[in-house]
Amino acid sequence: MLCFGRDFRMDFLTLFIIYTVFVLGSFIMVMNCSGREQFLQSCVNNLSKITACVLPVKLRCTACRMFNKVLYTRNPFFLVLHIVLEVVVYGEYTGELYGYCLEMEFTVLSLSIPYVLLMVKMIFFVMCCVKDPGTVTKSSQGFPLYSYDGVIYQEGIKCATCNLIKPARSKHCRLCNRCIHRFDHHCVWVNNCIGAVNMRYFLLYMLTLCAMAGDLAMLAVAFLQQLVLKSNLMQGSYIGEDGEPHPVDISFTIQHLFLTFPRVVFMLGFLIVVFLLLAGYLCFHLYLVLVNETSNEWFKKRQWNVIQSKHLKHKHKSAKCKSNYHRGVLGNIKEIFKPLTDVEKKHV
Protein backbone atom coordinates (compact mmCIF):
# COMPACT_ATOMS: atom_id res chain seq x y z
CA MET A 1 0.00 0.00 0.00
CA LEU A 2 1.31 3.43 -0.95
CA CYS A 3 1.51 6.00 1.80
CA PHE A 4 1.81 9.76 1.31
CA GLY A 5 3.26 11.95 4.01
CA ARG A 6 0.85 14.89 3.97
CA ASP A 7 -2.63 15.95 2.99
CA PHE A 8 -2.65 18.35 0.05
CA ARG A 9 -5.40 20.86 0.62
CA MET A 10 -7.63 22.42 -1.98
CA ASP A 11 -5.59 25.55 -2.76
CA PHE A 12 -4.77 24.32 -6.22
CA LEU A 13 -8.44 23.55 -6.90
CA THR A 14 -9.33 27.15 -6.10
CA LEU A 15 -6.71 28.30 -8.61
CA PHE A 16 -7.93 25.78 -11.16
CA ILE A 17 -11.57 26.88 -10.74
CA ILE A 18 -10.60 30.54 -11.22
CA TYR A 19 -8.62 29.57 -14.30
CA THR A 20 -11.54 27.54 -15.73
CA VAL A 21 -14.10 30.28 -15.04
CA PHE A 22 -11.83 32.86 -16.69
CA VAL A 23 -11.34 30.73 -19.81
CA LEU A 24 -15.02 29.80 -19.99
CA GLY A 25 -16.14 33.40 -19.52
CA SER A 26 -13.73 34.68 -22.16
CA PHE A 27 -14.85 32.15 -24.74
CA ILE A 28 -18.54 32.72 -24.04
CA MET A 29 -18.05 36.46 -24.48
CA VAL A 30 -16.21 35.99 -27.77
CA MET A 31 -18.81 33.50 -29.04
CA ASN A 32 -21.53 36.01 -28.22
CA CYS A 33 -19.56 38.68 -30.05
CA SER A 34 -20.30 37.09 -33.40
CA GLY A 35 -22.96 39.22 -35.03
CA ARG A 36 -24.22 40.73 -31.77
CA GLU A 37 -23.03 44.32 -31.52
CA GLN A 38 -25.69 45.21 -28.94
CA PHE A 39 -24.33 42.54 -26.61
CA LEU A 40 -20.81 43.90 -27.02
CA GLN A 41 -21.91 47.48 -26.45
CA SER A 42 -23.70 46.43 -23.28
CA CYS A 43 -20.54 44.68 -22.03
CA VAL A 44 -18.43 47.76 -22.76
CA ASN A 45 -20.88 50.06 -20.96
CA ASN A 46 -21.09 47.81 -17.92
CA LEU A 47 -17.32 47.45 -17.78
CA SER A 48 -16.93 51.23 -17.97
CA LYS A 49 -19.30 51.69 -15.04
CA ILE A 50 -17.40 49.14 -12.95
CA THR A 51 -14.00 50.70 -13.62
CA ALA A 52 -15.18 54.31 -13.34
CA CYS A 53 -14.49 54.44 -9.60
CA VAL A 54 -11.21 52.55 -9.79
CA LEU A 55 -9.16 53.66 -12.78
CA PRO A 56 -8.05 57.23 -13.59
CA VAL A 57 -9.92 58.94 -16.42
CA LYS A 58 -6.98 58.91 -18.86
CA LEU A 59 -6.20 55.27 -18.24
CA ARG A 60 -9.87 54.32 -18.55
CA CYS A 61 -10.21 56.23 -21.84
CA THR A 62 -7.09 54.57 -23.23
CA ALA A 63 -8.37 51.13 -22.23
CA CYS A 64 -11.76 51.84 -23.87
CA ARG A 65 -10.09 52.94 -27.10
CA MET A 66 -7.98 49.79 -27.20
CA PHE A 67 -11.01 47.63 -26.39
CA ASN A 68 -13.08 49.27 -29.13
CA LYS A 69 -10.25 48.91 -31.63
CA VAL A 70 -9.94 45.20 -30.91
CA LEU A 71 -13.67 44.43 -31.09
CA TYR A 72 -15.04 47.03 -33.50
CA THR A 73 -12.38 47.12 -36.22
CA ARG A 74 -11.03 44.41 -38.48
CA ASN A 75 -7.70 43.48 -36.93
CA PRO A 76 -5.64 40.31 -36.43
CA PHE A 77 -5.66 40.32 -32.62
CA PHE A 78 -7.85 37.23 -32.12
CA LEU A 79 -6.31 35.54 -35.14
CA VAL A 80 -2.87 35.85 -33.55
CA LEU A 81 -4.28 34.83 -30.15
CA HIS A 82 -5.79 31.74 -31.74
CA ILE A 83 -2.41 30.73 -33.20
CA VAL A 84 -0.60 31.44 -29.93
CA LEU A 85 -3.00 29.21 -27.98
CA GLU A 86 -2.48 26.39 -30.47
CA VAL A 87 1.30 26.77 -30.26
CA VAL A 88 1.14 26.58 -26.45
CA VAL A 89 -1.12 23.51 -26.45
CA TYR A 90 0.84 21.64 -29.10
CA GLY A 91 4.11 22.69 -27.48
CA GLU A 92 3.00 21.08 -24.22
CA TYR A 93 1.72 18.02 -26.05
CA THR A 94 4.94 17.58 -28.05
CA GLY A 95 7.36 18.51 -25.29
CA GLU A 96 5.88 16.53 -22.42
CA LEU A 97 2.75 14.45 -23.05
CA TYR A 98 3.96 12.77 -26.26
CA GLY A 99 7.08 11.39 -24.59
CA TYR A 100 5.23 10.13 -21.52
CA CYS A 101 2.64 8.42 -23.72
CA LEU A 102 5.38 6.67 -25.71
CA GLU A 103 6.84 5.36 -22.45
CA MET A 104 3.41 3.96 -21.59
CA GLU A 105 3.35 2.17 -24.95
CA PHE A 106 0.74 4.30 -26.70
CA THR A 107 0.83 3.62 -30.45
CA VAL A 108 2.61 6.10 -32.68
CA LEU A 109 -0.48 6.19 -34.91
CA SER A 110 -2.77 7.37 -32.10
CA LEU A 111 -0.20 9.97 -31.03
CA SER A 112 0.15 11.26 -34.61
CA ILE A 113 -3.57 11.91 -35.16
CA PRO A 114 -3.46 15.38 -33.50
CA TYR A 115 -0.75 16.48 -35.97
CA VAL A 116 -2.81 15.24 -38.93
CA LEU A 117 -5.87 17.09 -37.62
CA LEU A 118 -3.74 20.21 -37.16
CA MET A 119 -2.58 20.15 -40.79
CA VAL A 120 -6.13 19.60 -42.09
CA LYS A 121 -7.46 22.33 -39.81
CA MET A 122 -4.83 24.78 -41.03
CA ILE A 123 -6.01 24.28 -44.63
CA PHE A 124 -9.60 25.22 -43.76
CA PHE A 125 -8.41 27.96 -41.42
CA VAL A 126 -6.40 29.63 -44.17
CA MET A 127 -9.33 29.29 -46.58
CA CYS A 128 -11.61 31.02 -44.06
CA CYS A 129 -9.07 33.81 -43.63
CA VAL A 130 -8.22 34.54 -47.27
CA LYS A 131 -11.36 33.48 -49.18
CA ASP A 132 -13.75 36.25 -50.18
CA PRO A 133 -16.97 35.41 -48.29
CA GLY A 134 -19.07 36.83 -51.15
CA THR A 135 -18.70 40.59 -51.39
CA VAL A 136 -21.65 42.32 -53.05
CA THR A 137 -20.51 44.39 -56.06
CA LYS A 138 -22.22 45.95 -59.07
CA SER A 139 -21.16 43.05 -61.21
CA SER A 140 -21.66 40.32 -58.56
CA GLN A 141 -22.22 36.98 -60.21
CA GLY A 142 -21.87 33.40 -59.12
CA PHE A 143 -23.52 33.94 -55.74
CA PRO A 144 -26.79 32.50 -54.40
CA LEU A 145 -29.88 34.49 -55.37
CA TYR A 146 -32.86 34.63 -53.05
CA SER A 147 -36.28 36.25 -52.97
CA TYR A 148 -37.09 39.00 -50.47
CA ASP A 149 -39.19 37.79 -47.54
CA GLY A 150 -40.69 41.22 -46.83
CA VAL A 151 -39.82 40.97 -43.14
CA ILE A 152 -36.07 40.83 -42.60
CA TYR A 153 -35.17 41.59 -46.21
CA GLN A 154 -37.01 44.36 -48.00
CA GLU A 155 -36.78 44.85 -51.74
CA GLY A 156 -35.09 47.97 -53.06
CA ILE A 157 -33.13 48.83 -49.90
CA LYS A 158 -29.83 50.50 -50.72
CA CYS A 159 -26.77 50.21 -48.51
CA ALA A 160 -25.85 53.71 -47.40
CA THR A 161 -22.15 52.83 -47.24
CA CYS A 162 -21.66 50.68 -50.36
CA ASN A 163 -24.32 52.59 -52.38
CA LEU A 164 -25.61 49.28 -53.76
CA ILE A 165 -29.03 47.64 -53.71
CA LYS A 166 -28.82 44.99 -51.01
CA PRO A 167 -29.68 41.48 -52.25
CA ALA A 168 -31.86 39.29 -50.05
CA ARG A 169 -29.94 37.57 -47.24
CA SER A 170 -27.06 40.05 -47.48
CA LYS A 171 -25.84 42.38 -44.76
CA HIS A 172 -23.30 45.16 -44.46
CA CYS A 173 -20.43 44.25 -42.15
CA ARG A 174 -19.23 47.28 -40.27
CA LEU A 175 -15.88 45.68 -39.47
CA CYS A 176 -15.07 44.71 -43.07
CA ASN A 177 -16.92 47.74 -44.51
CA ARG A 178 -18.65 45.73 -47.24
CA CYS A 179 -21.93 43.94 -47.94
CA ILE A 180 -21.77 40.15 -47.87
CA HIS A 181 -24.00 37.66 -49.71
CA ARG A 182 -25.80 35.29 -47.33
CA PHE A 183 -24.10 36.98 -44.40
CA ASP A 184 -23.79 34.73 -41.34
CA HIS A 185 -21.46 36.57 -38.96
CA HIS A 186 -18.05 38.21 -38.69
CA CYS A 187 -15.64 35.73 -37.11
CA VAL A 188 -12.90 37.47 -35.13
CA TRP A 189 -10.90 34.22 -34.92
CA VAL A 190 -10.31 34.19 -38.71
CA ASN A 191 -10.50 37.99 -39.11
CA ASN A 192 -13.05 37.64 -41.89
CA CYS A 193 -16.77 37.48 -42.53
CA ILE A 194 -18.52 34.15 -42.97
CA GLY A 195 -20.82 34.27 -45.99
CA ALA A 196 -22.10 32.36 -48.99
CA VAL A 197 -18.72 31.32 -50.37
CA ASN A 198 -16.64 30.44 -47.31
CA MET A 199 -19.35 29.00 -45.04
CA ARG A 200 -18.35 25.45 -46.05
CA TYR A 201 -14.73 26.10 -45.07
CA PHE A 202 -15.86 27.58 -41.75
CA LEU A 203 -17.91 24.48 -40.89
CA LEU A 204 -15.02 22.15 -41.77
CA TYR A 205 -12.64 24.39 -39.81
CA MET A 206 -14.90 24.18 -36.75
CA LEU A 207 -15.28 20.42 -37.17
CA THR A 208 -11.52 19.77 -37.32
CA LEU A 209 -10.90 22.22 -34.46
CA CYS A 210 -13.38 20.30 -32.28
CA ALA A 211 -11.74 17.03 -33.30
CA MET A 212 -8.32 18.42 -32.36
CA ALA A 213 -9.43 19.55 -28.92
CA GLY A 214 -11.34 16.31 -28.29
CA ASP A 215 -8.50 14.04 -29.40
CA LEU A 216 -5.87 15.88 -27.34
CA ALA A 217 -8.17 15.83 -24.31
CA MET A 218 -8.76 12.07 -24.67
CA LEU A 219 -5.02 11.43 -24.93
CA ALA A 220 -4.41 13.48 -21.78
CA VAL A 221 -7.18 11.61 -19.93
CA ALA A 222 -5.83 8.23 -21.11
CA PHE A 223 -2.32 9.16 -19.95
CA LEU A 224 -3.49 10.24 -16.48
CA GLN A 225 -5.69 7.17 -16.19
CA GLN A 226 -2.84 4.83 -17.08
CA LEU A 227 -0.61 6.67 -14.64
CA VAL A 228 -3.07 6.09 -11.80
CA LEU A 229 -3.63 2.44 -12.69
CA LYS A 230 0.04 1.51 -13.09
CA SER A 231 1.10 3.28 -9.89
CA ASN A 232 -1.74 1.71 -7.83
CA LEU A 233 -2.44 5.19 -6.54
CA MET A 234 -6.04 4.44 -5.58
CA GLN A 235 -4.88 1.62 -3.27
CA GLY A 236 -2.66 3.97 -1.27
CA SER A 237 -3.28 6.14 1.77
CA TYR A 238 -2.17 9.53 3.04
CA ILE A 239 -1.72 11.20 6.41
CA GLY A 240 -4.34 13.86 6.94
CA GLU A 241 -4.12 17.07 8.95
CA ASP A 242 -5.51 15.17 11.89
CA GLY A 243 -2.46 12.90 11.81
CA GLU A 244 -4.56 9.86 10.88
CA PRO A 245 -4.18 7.76 7.71
CA HIS A 246 -6.95 8.12 5.11
CA PRO A 247 -7.59 6.09 1.97
CA VAL A 248 -6.83 7.84 -1.29
CA ASP A 249 -10.00 9.24 -2.87
CA ILE A 250 -10.81 11.04 -6.13
CA SER A 251 -10.13 14.47 -4.62
CA PHE A 252 -6.67 13.49 -3.44
CA THR A 253 -5.92 11.75 -6.75
CA ILE A 254 -6.72 14.91 -8.71
CA GLN A 255 -4.56 17.00 -6.40
CA HIS A 256 -1.70 14.53 -6.69
CA LEU A 257 -1.88 14.50 -10.50
CA PHE A 258 -1.99 18.28 -10.56
CA LEU A 259 1.10 18.59 -8.39
CA THR A 260 2.93 15.91 -10.39
CA PHE A 261 1.90 17.03 -13.90
CA PRO A 262 0.49 20.55 -13.50
CA ARG A 263 0.88 21.57 -17.15
CA VAL A 264 -0.86 18.43 -18.41
CA VAL A 265 -3.79 18.95 -16.03
CA PHE A 266 -4.08 22.64 -16.97
CA MET A 267 -3.96 21.71 -20.65
CA LEU A 268 -6.67 19.12 -20.10
CA GLY A 269 -8.92 21.62 -18.33
CA PHE A 270 -8.43 24.15 -21.11
CA LEU A 271 -9.15 21.57 -23.83
CA ILE A 272 -12.34 20.37 -22.14
CA VAL A 273 -13.69 23.92 -21.90
CA VAL A 274 -12.72 24.68 -25.50
CA PHE A 275 -14.21 21.43 -26.80
CA LEU A 276 -17.56 21.93 -25.05
CA LEU A 277 -17.88 25.51 -26.30
CA LEU A 278 -16.80 24.72 -29.85
CA ALA A 279 -19.00 21.62 -30.02
CA GLY A 280 -22.02 23.63 -28.90
CA TYR A 281 -21.24 26.38 -31.39
CA LEU A 282 -20.74 23.84 -34.19
CA CYS A 283 -24.03 22.09 -33.39
CA PHE A 284 -25.81 25.44 -33.53
CA HIS A 285 -24.40 26.13 -37.00
CA LEU A 286 -25.18 22.61 -38.19
CA TYR A 287 -28.78 23.17 -37.11
CA LEU A 288 -28.83 26.42 -39.10
CA VAL A 289 -27.51 24.55 -42.14
CA LEU A 290 -30.29 21.95 -41.90
CA VAL A 291 -33.01 24.64 -41.78
CA ASN A 292 -31.22 26.96 -44.24
CA GLU A 293 -30.79 29.93 -41.93
CA THR A 294 -27.88 32.13 -41.00
CA SER A 295 -27.03 33.16 -37.46
CA ASN A 296 -27.83 36.75 -38.50
CA GLU A 297 -31.32 35.66 -39.55
CA TRP A 298 -31.77 33.55 -36.42
CA PHE A 299 -31.08 36.52 -34.13
CA LYS A 300 -33.19 38.91 -36.19
CA LYS A 301 -36.14 36.53 -36.31
CA ARG A 302 -36.04 36.10 -32.56
CA GLN A 303 -36.08 39.88 -32.11
CA TRP A 304 -38.92 40.27 -34.65
CA ASN A 305 -41.00 37.55 -33.01
CA VAL A 306 -40.54 39.13 -29.56
CA ILE A 307 -41.70 42.50 -30.90
CA GLN A 308 -44.67 40.92 -32.64
CA SER A 309 -45.69 38.98 -29.55
CA LYS A 310 -45.72 42.23 -27.54
CA HIS A 311 -47.88 44.01 -30.12
CA LEU A 312 -50.26 41.05 -30.43
CA LYS A 313 -50.28 39.99 -26.77
CA HIS A 314 -54.06 40.50 -26.50
CA LYS A 315 -54.70 38.15 -29.42
CA HIS A 316 -54.84 34.38 -29.20
CA LYS A 317 -52.41 33.87 -32.06
CA SER A 318 -49.38 35.89 -33.04
CA ALA A 319 -47.68 35.90 -36.42
CA LYS A 320 -44.17 34.50 -36.38
CA CYS A 321 -41.36 35.10 -38.81
CA LYS A 322 -40.58 31.83 -40.58
CA SER A 323 -37.82 30.85 -42.97
CA ASN A 324 -38.63 31.20 -46.68
CA TYR A 325 -35.43 29.55 -47.90
CA HIS A 326 -35.87 25.94 -46.77
CA ARG A 327 -35.22 23.59 -49.71
CA GLY A 328 -35.20 20.27 -47.87
CA VAL A 329 -32.36 18.90 -45.77
CA LEU A 330 -30.31 17.64 -48.71
CA GLY A 331 -30.96 20.79 -50.70
CA ASN A 332 -29.91 22.97 -47.76
CA ILE A 333 -26.68 21.03 -47.29
CA LYS A 334 -25.94 21.16 -51.02
CA GLU A 335 -26.45 24.92 -50.99
CA ILE A 336 -23.69 25.30 -48.42
CA PHE A 337 -21.11 23.09 -50.11
CA LYS A 338 -22.10 24.04 -53.66
CA PRO A 339 -23.57 27.56 -53.69
CA LEU A 340 -25.98 28.25 -56.54
CA THR A 341 -24.82 30.44 -59.41
CA ASP A 342 -26.96 32.77 -61.48
CA VAL A 343 -27.13 30.25 -64.34
CA GLU A 344 -28.00 27.35 -62.06
CA LYS A 345 -30.69 29.39 -60.30
CA LYS A 346 -32.52 30.01 -63.57
CA HIS A 347 -32.84 26.30 -64.19
CA VAL A 348 -34.01 25.34 -60.67
Task: List the catalytic residues.
Answer: 187
* Residue 175 · residue 155 · CB < 8 Å: no
Reduced DSSP (H G I as helix, E B as strand, rest coil) percent helix, strand, coil of the chain, to 5: 60, 5, 30
* Residue 277 · residue 26 · CB < 8 Å: no
CA dihedral angle for residue 186, residue 190, residue 196, residue 197, rounded to 10 degrees: 160
Q: Which residues contact 178 (CB under 8 A, 6 or more apart)?
A: 135, 136, 162, 172, 193
Strand, helix or coil at 261?
coil
Beta-sheet pairing, 237-239 with 3-4? parallel
* Residue 202 · residue 212 · CB < 8 Å: no
Closest CA to 40 of 50, 48, 29, 28: 29
* Residue 296 · residue 35 · CB < 8 Å: yes
For residue 144, report the phi and psi dihedrals to the nearest 5 degrees: -60, 140
